[in-house]
Structure 1
Amino acid sequence: LVNSIENLISKFRNKEKQQVQNGGIMKVSVVGGGAGGVEIAFSLQYRLEQERQALGLPESMKAQITLICSSVLLSSSTSQAQTIFRRLASERDSCMQIVEGDRVVQVLPDRSLVLASGRVLPSQDEVLWCTQAGAAPWLAGTGLPTDAMGFLAVDEYLRSDGGPAEVFAAGDVASCTPYPRPKAGVYAVRQGPPLAYNLRASLTGEPLRPFIPQTTNLSLLTTGERYCVGTKGWLTLEGKWLWSYKDYIDRTFMHKYGEGLIDMQDKMMKAAERHSSASSEPPSAYQAAGVEALTLFAESKMRCGGCGSKVGSDVLSRVLSRLRQEGLMSGSSNDRQSLPGDSGNRDDSAIVIGLDDPDDAALVRPPPPGSLLIHTVDFFRTFCSDPFIFGKIAANHALGDCYAMGGQPSTALAMTVVPLAAEGKMEEELFQMMAGASQIISEAGCQIVGGHTVEGEEASLGFTINGVVQETDVMRKSGLRSDQALVLTKALGTGTIMAAAMKGRAKGRWVVGALSSMQQSSKAAAHILQLHGSSSCTDVTGFGLVGHLAEMVKASQVRVEIDMAKIPVLQGAYECLKAGQLSSMHKNNATAVSVVSNFESELRFDERWPILVDPQTAGGMLAGVPLDQADICVESLRAAGYADAVVIGFVTSHDEDYGSQEHSQIQHETSNRGRRKSVENAITVKTTCV
């Protein structure tokens, strides 16, 4: 059973490989004879047949698709459309079978399907369920009026029908009592504008506008091979030209949620600016929202700078209290409870005065003899809509420098910027950011002992991290040696993917992958690198892989080579690079390619090389590891959850002339003439700040 598109694609790719290896016939059943089930069944049969032909497999290995309908095929469509799809199925050389008027009552362990009629469909490779919409169970517990199928009942104004007047609902979660319609997207999307209007009208006391849906809708169903069947009321058509029309409609609709969404946001911002400059009166929505909203509108005209920009103490106190109640933070020398995720090596006894104490600064005991203090800071503005995830990433990013030095973080100071909003909203955003960050910092064996929070235009977060390292355990950028391999612990690509996401041009699974990578701590990775003899390490962040490698190369006075084929890359990163979705740091980072010995001879001819200068957020560790330990080190990293860890290159020789003035001048001139020109030719695109 498959419950997500991403799983569906990966499952079928694996199944295809297995079928080719085993020489068997792939059998798939699609349960549900509505529009969705029909499109999936026909498209799947076409796709699998194309794959068979491309692989040169015999006709005896054609996939078998069974479409199971509890009533008649496409029961809500025209009889002509039903006839057309039955004909099309029969034309596919017995590869498609349609079962009508029967339903699945049991799925056996071997995926055999037992039908209500008693018929049994033998073991299926996959069973896809595409049945009619069902109401979410939680709706029954809301106390709101529902229809016979459990959907929220709304009136012609999309307002709860018989329920509270301030409750509105639209889309598949609701059923419009005066105008019952099928659960089709064409009706749901058209409820958006009247819903937005009625929400504002409800706040301002203006009359509501009714939503009167169309009586019929245009239905365009693809058969897979760029052929389409369309219905509108009693009219039924088919043909290739209809597929082109459907493709145009679909792409236009999806554009609204990609590039079009960014354009719409820009238009809304400009409209708001025009209203603000044209009138000093608050918008009607502010007036209707009450005193707090009107006060906020008036105060937003001029906000104080300096220390007057701090977030109020009441908000801070409530946030800290909530963090402690959630078990995410301890703050004073008298508050030493064990926190979730504590690594067990946090020395709270070193903190004399902490977060809960009323003093102006924290007091921390110095480390024992033989230890050194590490001090580092990182800070940046938000780039994702979830403040909790942003907090986790910001903390991970800040901790990376301490790990790269071989240290154990001990205390942290938070620097937070929260956008001006109603007090409750500011409190919640601050809490979510700090909750995510506190979770990561606690897991690191570190403790937040203070900070500073101010108002600003957009959310930003950073940390000053203080750590401890034994003098004998320090990993420095100057420690690369000619007998070492270059080990990278995480895949590259967060910069280009998030730049694309800001313009609505990144696929959801690419963004999810990038955010997941940024939330993975490098603590265990740094420890594993140390255990395998690493003498030089850095975390790959804003300057990109090559930018941070350049710092190591220059400090160590060595030469390095990179194997482009071994570079791990996040899913979607190359697609974003090819589309020109680059960060504003990209071009400056690219001047560092001169430190890679084989760039001119090899890498510059590889179209993938710009990933080497992609700025990373909370990137992985890059370290020099002895050659005889490199493979074992990579195996240990992968076992610890760093699935993309790999040897990406080698330190080839010691360069005694690297630090000389003459050599440095040659490097500088070369980089800023020939190489920079090639860089600029390769990256002449619009940039997005990330």
Structure 2
Amino acid sequence: MQQDLTPASQHLLFIGGGHAHAIALLMIAMNKPAGVKITLISNLIQTPYSGMLPGLIAGHYQFDQVHIDLGRFCRYAGIDFIEDTVIGIDPEQRTVSCLNHPDFSYDLLSIDTGSTPDLSTIPGAQENSIGVKPVKQLLDYWDDLQQRVLDGDYNQALHIGTVGGGASAVEVLLAMQHKLERMLRKQQRRSDHIHFHIICGPEQILPSHNVRVQRLYNRVIQQRDITLHTGFRVAEVKPGQLISESGQRLVLDEIIWATAASGAGWPARAGLECSDNGCIRVNDFLQSVSHPDIFATGDIADMVNFSRPKAGVFAVRQGMPLAKNIQARLQNRTLSRYKPQRQFLSLISTGDRYAVASRGPFSLSGAWVWRWKDHIDQKFMRRFSELTELPDSTLDNDEIRIENPDMRCGGCGAKVGHTILHKVLRQLPVTHNNAEIGLNKPDDAAVIAVPEGKLLVQSVDSFRQLVNDDYLFGQIAANHALGDIFAMGAEPHSAQAMVTLPYAGDTILEQRLRHLLLGASKVFSDCGIGLVGGHTSEGAELQLGFTINGLADKQQLLTKQGLQPGDKLIVTKPLGTGTLFASDMRSQAHGRWISNALQQMLLSNYQASRILSDNNAHACTDITGFGLLGHLHEMLDGSGFNIRLRLENLPVLEGADLCLKAGLFSSLHPQNRKYDQYITNLDEFKDSHRTELLFDPQTAGGLLTAVPADKVEQLITALHSAGYQHARVIGSVQQNGVPNSVELI
């Protein structure tokens, strides 16, 4: 999408990736308001579409088919995506607090975080049952339950029950039954030891639907040999047991809770007017009745003039009026009233490929209704999934259309105002790094005393923003800059920052600078150092870099040129950040791929450096822009040795292989291919796209080290224990081949 070059003066903030927000963001992205920075905060980078969830549980769909990829969509739409959980808001200061980020400021706020079954009112329910929401928690539980059944953990009778008589309780249980029976039948195992139960407080299931629908589902439940317990109002939940208000006991091994839902507690704590169930009360414009600069939609909202059930159909239909009213509010125009429909179409599945249509007093059923429902659901999801093509393992390179092939990759004027800079600096953590003059008493330059007998080790690194999360980018840039210091076995001492911020209003500038420097300071504080100075300016795009100072004893230094015959080569982190973020900038990478890659980029090399020094590593470098092969060449250069590299042992980030196969390369990738001349047998592997991983440039990559063979086992164990789970041996140093070359095996 075309980028808005107008300096941002307003911040539009969305909390939650619910259905209404997904639609609203799609509409706003198509007609983005000038001068507005848009941010979405969600605890899920891929959010589930509720209409297809039973189909996923039943095995009719794959994970990606039923999840909206918020990370990928936001990259496409030019919206900042923040993966985090909101824990509070301050409507007076207009700030939002998150679990793992500094506060965000906003001018206009919209909330669509959904709701979850209220387990707090029933003793023991939270400890002894699983709610149908949050969906991620339910799906993790479902994967675990399937594995336990496959492993034979339940050789005797297994009783599974849902508490609740609404559509979600019935659909989820029917879907689970369908999948487990099919799964066991495929293994030629019996399933008659698994018993299913629906526990319903009212005397009839599906109380919000007409009698014909209720009768049909009663028939289905009877035919599927499911036990229906009506009029069973749960008063207490004990391990493996439900107790009703009348004292009746029901033994269940697995309890899924699907009763009436409630909202999160933080909106009410913030002073927003909420209903008794914790949902935000909104007017006909979808605004909070108590705070007009806050909108709320979906299950988290209760319209004061229109009482409607918590159903996905209402959330989807609120997307368009929400987008229009947000646009109007930003431009000081008159808002439009939204009146939800009285009757609505429900399409409820029965686990297998059969469904029931219900609207008011009418109903239809059959396999054709399921196909109709499937068509509607898939059409809805295509609005988000067909923005750009994703890499596909079944396609050849020439079948992939690469978006924006000439885009320059991220990764590897005027000063910011004095007032903004000093407000941010006052919020940074206090550090004690023995600088004679630094931020503790600012001057024209920092002054550092180098202890007698120590060497000053210094490195500098700077690059463009590669992820639209300033706090995470600050951490990644700091980790990347520290890499050279750690690779040389030095102890970091201090840092100076170089920041270029895009033109924007003062409030947005302050927030961005604060998030960047707080993110970097988090990494620096973990290493016992801090900022001693730096330079800030405004420019066309965000750039961040650091000059890092370190100290080392001469005998302590690790260099690239220390290889010895028989050494084993170890990498501490997986490869693939170059291709993944090249794909992400084209909106051709799954959000979860990027989320996983970020977790590795946030992993500091600090502990790895100490482990290598303690285990007598002979040589070390960090893997950055020149890729694995480029840095291997630097280690080999002039040594006279050669390296045998086991291609299949290279640790690789999820999705990187597919992106490389599709030809989605970083802009530095072609230049790194010049190192292929040092591979003696590349022709033997010409059909393997895995060779492209050798040229992939890395940001905040791991360490590449040569260690004595007798130290490998204890070193790998120590690295794994320290959190470097992907650390592995990838090759060895030889002296009986072509000097200064690499042989693939």
Q: Judging changes above 3 Å, is the alpha-carbon distance between structure 1 residues 128 and 368 closer, same or farther for their aligned structure 2 residues?
A: farther
Q: What is the correspondence of 1:429-508 to structure 2 with a 5 Å cutoff?
A: 429-508=512-591
The answer (yes or no) to whether the contact 1:39–1:223 under 8 Å persists in 2 is: yes
* Matching residue's letter, 2:446: A
Aligned: 1:70 with 2:201: yes
Q: Look up the match of 1:296.
A: none
User: How far apart are residue 320 of structure 1 and its match?
Assistant: 0.6
Q: Look up the match of 2:287.
A: 159
Q: Judging changes above 3 Å, is the alpha-carbon distance between structure 1 residues 484 and 136 closer, same or farther for their aligned structure 2 residues?
A: same
Aligned equivalents of 2:678, 2:530: Cα separation in 1: 38
Gaps of 5+ in 2: 1-128, 391-412
Aligned: 1:206 with 2:333: yes
Which of 359, 362, 365 does residue 232 from structure 1 map onto? 359
Whose radius of gyration is greater, 1 or 2? 1
Q: Look up the match of 1:641.
A: 723
Give me the TM-score of the superposition, normalised by structure 1. Answer: 0.78
Q: Judging changes above 3 Å, is the alpha-carbon distance between structure 1 residues 50 and 447 closer, same or farther for their aligned structure 2 residues?
A: same
Q: Look up the match of 1:424.
A: 507
Which of 342, 357, 378 does residue 251 from structure 1 map onto? 378
Q: Judging changes above 3 Å, is the alpha-carbon distance between structure 1 residues 59 and 452 closer, same or farther for their aligned structure 2 residues?
A: same
RMSD: 3.1
Deviations 1:225-282 (A, max 9, x none): 333322233332233333333333333333434554999xxxxxxxxxxxxxxxxxxx
Aligned: 1:615 with 2:697: yes
Q: Judging changes above 3 Å, is the alpha-carbon distance between structure 1 residues 405 and 40 closer, same or farther for their aligned structure 2 residues?
A: same
User: How far apart are residue 205 of structure 1 and its match?
Assistant: 4.6
What SS does structure 1 have at the residue aligned with 2:352? coil
Q: Look up the match of 1:145.
A: 273
Aligned equivalents of 1:107, 1:210: Cα separation in 2: 44
Q: Judging changes above 3 Å, is the alpha-carbon distance between structure 1 residues 256 and 642 closer, same or farther for their aligned structure 2 residues?
A: same
Q: What is the correspondence of 1:564-603 to structure 2 with a 5 Å cutoff?
A: 564-577=647-660, 581-593=664-676, 595=678, 599-601=682-684, 603=685
Higher relative contact order (CA 8 A, sep 6+): 2
Aligned equivalents of 1:627, 1:456: Cα separation in 2: 50
Deviations 1:577-611 (A, max 9, x none): 5565543334444554554566544x554454444
Aligned equivalents of 2:350, 2:309: Cα separation in 1: 22
* Matching residue's letter, 2:416: V
Q: Look up the match of 2:255.
A: 127
User: How far apart are residue 634 of structure 1 and its match?
Assistant: 0.3
* Matching residue's letter, 1:585: L
Aligned: 1:39 with 2:171: yes
Q: Judging changes above 3 Å, is the alpha-carbon distance between structure 1 residues 457 and 65 closer, same or farther for their aligned structure 2 residues?
A: farther
Deviations 1:541-560 (A, max 9, x none): 23333332333233544322
The answer (yes or no) to whether the contact 1:374–1:407 under 8 Å persists in 2 is: yes
The answer (yes or no) to whether the contact 1:257–1:504 under 8 Å persists in 2 is: no
Q: Look up the match of 1:365.
A: 449
Aligned: 1:627 with 2:709: yes
What SS does structure 2 have at the residue aligned with 1:158? coil
The answer (yes or no) to whether the contact 2:601–2:699 under 8 Å persists in 1 is: yes
The answer (yes or no) to whether the contact 2:624–2:700 under 8 Å persists in 1 is: yes
The answer (yes or no) to whether the contact 2:633–2:740 under 8 Å persists in 1 is: no
Q: Judging changes above 3 Å, is the alpha-carbon distance between structure 1 residues 552 and 425 closer, same or farther for their aligned structure 2 residues?
A: same
Q: Look up the match of 1:339.
A: none
User: How far apart are residue 181 of structure 1 and its match?
Assistant: 1.6
Aligned: 1:115 with 2:244: yes
User: How far apart are residue 533 of structure 1 and its match?
Assistant: 1.9
Which of 315, 327, 333 does residue 420 from structure 2 map onto? 315
Q: Judging changes above 3 Å, is the alpha-carbon distance between structure 1 residues 367 and 655 closer, same or farther for their aligned structure 2 residues?
A: farther
Aligned equivalents of 1:493, 1:55: Cα separation in 2: 37
Aligned equivalents of 1:156, 1:64: Cα separation in 2: 46
The answer (yes or no) to whether the contact 1:562–1:596 under 8 Å persists in 2 is: no
Q: Judging changes above 3 Å, is the alpha-carbon distance between structure 1 residues 590 and 88 closer, same or farther for their aligned structure 2 residues?
A: farther
Aligned equivalents of 1:31, 1:235: Cα separation in 2: 27
* Matching residue's letter, 1:169: A
Aligned equivalents of 2:639, 2:210: Cα separation in 1: 75
What SS does structure 1 have at the residue aligned with 2:426? helix
Q: Look up the match of 1:302.
A: none
Deviations 1:501-543 (A, max 9, x none): 4455544443332222111111111111122221111222233
Q: Look up the match of 2:396.
A: none
What SS does structure 1 have at the residue aligned with 2:599? helix
Q: Look up the match of 1:537.
A: 620
Q: Look up the match of 1:178.
A: 305
Q: Judging changes above 3 Å, is the alpha-carbon distance between structure 1 residues 359 and 494 closer, same or farther for their aligned structure 2 residues?
A: same
User: How far apart are residue 204 of structure 1 and its match?
Assistant: 4.7
User: How far apart are residue 400 of structure 1 and its match?
Assistant: 0.9
What SS does structure 2 have at the residue aligned with 1:220? strand
What SS does structure 2 have at the residue aligned with 1:631? helix
Aligned equivalents of 2:693, 2:228: Cα separation in 1: 49
Aligned equivalents of 1:5, 1:575: Cα separation in 2: 27
User: How far apart are residue 633 of structure 1 and its match?
Assistant: 0.4
Q: Judging changes above 3 Å, is the alpha-carbon distance between structure 1 residues 135 and 451 closer, same or farther for their aligned structure 2 residues?
A: same
The answer (yes or no) to whether the contact 2:201–2:231 under 8 Å persists in 1 is: yes
The answer (yes or no) to whether the contact 2:580–2:659 under 8 Å persists in 1 is: yes
Q: Look up the match of 1:105.
A: 235
Aligned equivalents of 1:177, 1:146: Cα separation in 2: 10
User: How far apart are residue 431 of structure 1 and its match?
Assistant: 0.6
- Matched positions, count: 589
The answer (yes or no) to whether the contact 1:354–1:363 under 8 Å persists in 2 is: yes
Runs ≥4 in structure 1, deviation > 6 angstroms?
none
What SS does structure 1 have at the residue aligned with 2:427? helix
Aligned equivalents of 2:636, 2:364: Cα separation in 1: 67
What SS does structure 1 have at the residue aligned with 2:262? coil
Q: What is the correspondence of 1:358-397 to structure 2 with a 5 Å cutoff?
A: 358-369=442-453, 371-397=454-480
* Matching residue's letter, 2:309: P
Aligned equivalents of 1:555, 1:231: Cα separation in 2: 77
What SS does structure 1 have at the residue aligned with 2:545? strand
Which of 345, 348, 353 does residue 218 from structure 1 map onto? 345
Q: What is the correspondence of 1:284-303 to structure 2 with a 5 Å cutoff?
A: none
Deviations 1:253-312 (A, max 9, x none): 33434554999xxxxxxxxxxxxxxxxxxxxxxxxxxxxxxxxxxxxxxxxxxxx51111
Aligned equivalents of 1:226, 1:568: Cα separation in 2: 40
User: How far apart are residue 316 of structure 1 and its match?
Assistant: 0.7
User: How far apart are residue 429 of structure 1 and its match?
Assistant: 0.9
Give me the TM-score of the superposition, normalised by structure 2. Answer: 0.72
Gaps of 5+ in 1: 264-307, 331-335, 337-347, 660-666, 676-690
Determine what percentage of the aligned residue pairs are the same residue.
38
Deviations 1:434-480 (A, max 9, x none): 00101111221323111111112332211111212222222222222
Q: Judging changes above 3 Å, is the alpha-carbon distance between structure 1 residues 146 and 567 closer, same or farther for their aligned structure 2 residues?
A: same
The answer (yes or no) to whether the contact 1:482–1:654 under 8 Å persists in 2 is: no
Deviations 1:474-512 (A, max 9, x none): 222222222111212122333344444445554444333
Q: Look up the match of 2:149.
A: 19
Q: Judging changes above 3 Å, is the alpha-carbon distance between structure 1 residues 457 and 84 closer, same or farther for their aligned structure 2 residues?
A: farther
* Matching residue's letter, 2:372: Y
Higher mean C-alpha deviation, range 619-628 or range 358-367: 358-367
The answer (yes or no) to whether the contact 2:200–2:231 under 8 Å persists in 1 is: yes
Q: Judging changes above 3 Å, is the alpha-carbon distance between structure 1 residues 409 and 164 closer, same or farther for their aligned structure 2 residues?
A: closer
What SS does structure 1 have at the residue aligned with 2:379? helix
Aligned equivalents of 2:700, 2:232: Cα separation in 1: 54
Deviations 1:629-670 (A, max 9, x none): 1111000111112122222222243556438xxxxxxx9xxx
Higher-helix-fraction structure: 1
Q: Judging changes above 3 Å, is the alpha-carbon distance between structure 1 residues 134 and 459 closer, same or farther for their aligned structure 2 residues?
A: same
* Matching residue's letter, 1:104: V
Which of 732, 736, 740 does residue 650 from structure 1 map onto? 732
* Matching residue's letter, 2:374: D
Q: Judging changes above 3 Å, is the alpha-carbon distance between structure 1 residues 466 and 15 closer, same or farther for their aligned structure 2 residues?
A: same
